[in-house]
Amino acid sequence: MNLLLDSHLTAFRDEVRSFLQQHLPASLRLGQYQTASVYPEPKITGPWQQALQRQGWLVPLWPKEWGGTGWTPIQRFIFETECALAGAPLVHPMGVRLVGPVILKFGTDEQKQHYLPRILSSQDYWCQGFSEPGAGSDLASLKLRAESDEENYVLNGSKIWTTNAHHANRMFALVRTSNEGRRQDGISFLVIDMQSPGVTVRPIRTIGGDHELNEVFFDNVRVPRSNLIGQENRGWDCAKYLLEFERGAGIFSPRLRSQLKRVGDALSERIADGMALGVDLPVRFGEITADLDTFEMLELKVLGSLSPGETPGPLSSVLKLRASRMKQAVAELGIEVLGSESMRWHAGSSRLEDDERAVPALVQDYLNSRAFTIFGGASEIQLGIIAKTVVGL
Ligand SMILES: Cc1cc2nc3c(=O)[nH]c(=O)nc-3n(C[C@H](O)[C@H](O)[C@H](O)COP(=O)(O)OP(=O)(O)OC[C@H]3O[C@@H](n4cnc5c(N)ncnc54)[C@H](O)[C@@H]3O)c2cc1C
């Protein structure tokens, strides 16, 4: 979509373009290009986040005194669009977009001074310990026990589906500190040092063959009481606030657009080569393009109604639901257009060593895209939220 940009926004877009030309090396573009799992590995996100931080652009949603840019939502959209067009790596959201805002809202001054600079410098790499066996959609049923003495909480239990726990040195986690009253009222939000004695991380291979997910076990793990964020037994407030950022603070359409463009280019090449593709694929390409145009307009409308730093509230669920379904539709079309050629890149190859001509991991991307309608809250859960809070049923 062509936004009608005034001179101020055109100058901003040009500034972003020139930054990307100067600071985005081919190796990082290639790393993102060939990433089929949800986020690139730390060896790709780390240097990119440091470059953004040097420029003062890493945490647009944070308040200015903590490094925020003060950008309007439309400036954020322009920034994301230019990053997608240039093929820049995705920023790893766990510190910057998830726990950072929670610490800013619920943390003590001491916690802010300690953790926020370490997020900005990428010194800490975070993972999210919410889901447990038996507590995914029904998160409030979580059981990881945290019993407290004067100085520590002592943790016993496990978490599951923990993205990149094997890279992380910190986890933010929801733990059970009480069994009294409503289930939500006995949950607390803790920061855990992943190097603590008693923490064990075990890999789970995804359907696409990647090691991205993990189980994490806690066996008498001692966590200082000073690692509690917010009040004891009020962790549910932190969780709800964080989930709004997880579902709604991202800008999805620019990345979907560049992925769809790649599929469109491949489709045009095949038609030009005289391949007999039938009409179904071009028609589906047209339908997805129209859907994406509508989604982009919705995203812009929602963004346009927000003040700097604000998230879209319950509308996050509408954006998350639409974006995840479209991600799957684009990945599926890509596989069908490329046919057997989509198998060329395989999981074992070493990403950064491959050359620019390598095709992205389309099969893995397709397989991993199945997870988009599950993580961050499954589609059925988003539909329930939309029914209650947006439609008012
Ligand atoms: C790739 C990936 C990465 C993830 N990363 C993390 C992470 O880093 N940290 C973390 O904590 N978790 C993570 N998760 C876990 C994710 O949040 C959960 O998988 C998700 O919340 C669903 O929970 P569940 O798997 O227990 O499924 P369940 O909750 O058991 O749901 C199973 C099915 O039942 C449906 N269902 C459940 N309840 C209802 C209802 N009330 N109404 C209608 N339908 C319902 C669901 O929609 C789903 O289709 C990740 C998951 C994936 C796939």
3-state SS class at 200: strand
Given 234, 253, 287, the domain boundary residue is: 234
Among residues 234, 263, 296, the one where a domain terminates is 234
Strand-pairing partners, residue 295, are none
Residue 355 pLDDT = 43
**Token pair belonging to 349:** 């190859």
In this prediction, residue 357 carries a pLDDT of 43
Q: Is the CB of 24 under 6 A from ligand 1?
A: no
> Does 311 share its domain with 385?
yes
246 is catalytic: yes
Is the distance from CB of 215 to CB of 41 less than 8 angstroms? no
Check whether residue 227 and residue 255 sit in a common domain: no
CA of 275 to the centre of ligand 1 (A): 41
Closest ligand 1 atom number to CA of residue 377:
21
- Token pair of 97, please? 């977009």
Supply the pLDDT for residue 35. Answer: 82
Could you tell me if the CB of 380 is within 6 A of ligand 1? yes
Residue 161, ligand 1, Cβ within 6 A: yes
What is this structure's pTM?
A: 0.92
- Do 341 and 259 share a structural domain? yes
Instruction: For residue 116, tell me if it sits in a domain.
Output: no
* 89 and 188 fall within a common domain: no
How far does the centroid of ligand 1 lie from the alpha carbon of residue 236, in Å? 17
Q: What is the Å distance from ligand 1's center to 129 Cα?
A: 13
Q: Which domain covers residue 147, as residue numbers?
A: 126-234
Give the pLDDT confidence score for residue 356 in this predicted structure. 45
Same domain, 311 and 378: yes
* DSSP-assigned letters across all residues of 251-277: --HHHHHHHHHHHHHHHHHHHHTT---
In a shared domain, residues 98 and 16:
yes
Instruction: Going residue by residue through the chain, which has 393 residues, state the pLDDT in tens, using 9 for 90 and above.
Output: 556 678 899 999 999 999 999 999 999 998 888 787 888 889 999 999 999 999 999 999 899 999 999 998 889 999 999 999 999 999 999 999 999 999 999 999 999 999 999 999 999 999 999 999 999 999 999 999 999 988 999 999 999 999 999 999 999 999 999 999 999 999 999 999 999 999 999 999 988 888 899 999 999 999 999 999 999 999 999 999 998 888 767 789 999 998 899 889 889 988 888 887 778 899 999 999 999 999 999 888 888 777 766 777 788 889 999 999 999 999 999 988 888 777 765 444 444 344 444 455 678 888 889 999 999 889 999 999 899 987 776
Atom 31, ligand 1: which residue's CA is nearest? 137
The CATH number for 218's domain is: 2.40.110.10
**Is residue 293 a part of any domain in this protein?**
yes
Residue 121 lies in a domain: no
User: 137 and 220, same structural domain?
Assistant: yes
- 262 and 215 together in one domain: no
- Residue 132 DSSP class: B
Ligand 1 touching residue 375 (CB < 6 A): yes
Q: Quick check: 174 and 239 in contact, CB under 8 A? A: yes
User: Ligand 1 pocket test: which of 190, 201, 245, 374 has the largest number of ligand atoms within 8 Å of its C-beta?
Assistant: 374
In the reported structure, the alpha carbon of residue 351 is separated from the centroid of ligand 1 by a whole-number distance in angstroms of 29
Decide: 165 in ligand 1 pocket, CB within 6 A: no
Q: Is the CB of 126 within 6 Å of ligand 1? A: no
| 210 lies in some domain | yes
Decide if 239 is inside a domain: no
Decide whether any atom of ligand 1 lies within 6 Å of the 153 Cβ.
no
Q: Is 208's C-beta closer than 6 angstroms to any atom of ligand 1?
A: no
Q: Of 224, 223, 193, 191, whose CA–CA distance to 106 is shortest?
A: 191
Q: What is the pLDDT of residue 308?
A: 65
Residue 283 resides in a domain: yes
Closest CA to 313 of 244, 234, 378: 244
Domain count, the chain: 3
Catalytic residue among 41, 80, 244, 246: 246
| Position 114 in a domain | no
Q: How far apart (Å, rounded) are the C-alpha atoms in residues 312 and 321?
A: 14
In this structure, the residue with its CA closest to atom 2 of ligand 1 is 375
3-state secondary structure of 293: helix
Shared-domain flag, residues 211 and 133: yes
**Residues 180, 211: one domain?**
yes
Domain limit, last residue, from 199, 234, 269: 234
Which residue's CA is the nearest one to ligand 1's atom 27? 136
**Are residue 256 and residue 386 in the same domain, yes or no?**
yes
CATH number at residue 69: 1.10.540.10
Looking at residue 350, what is its pLDDT? 41
216 and 133 within one domain? yes
- CATH code assigned at 314: 1.20.140.10
Residue 117 in domain: no
Identify the residue whose C-alpha is closest to ligand 1 atom 29.
137
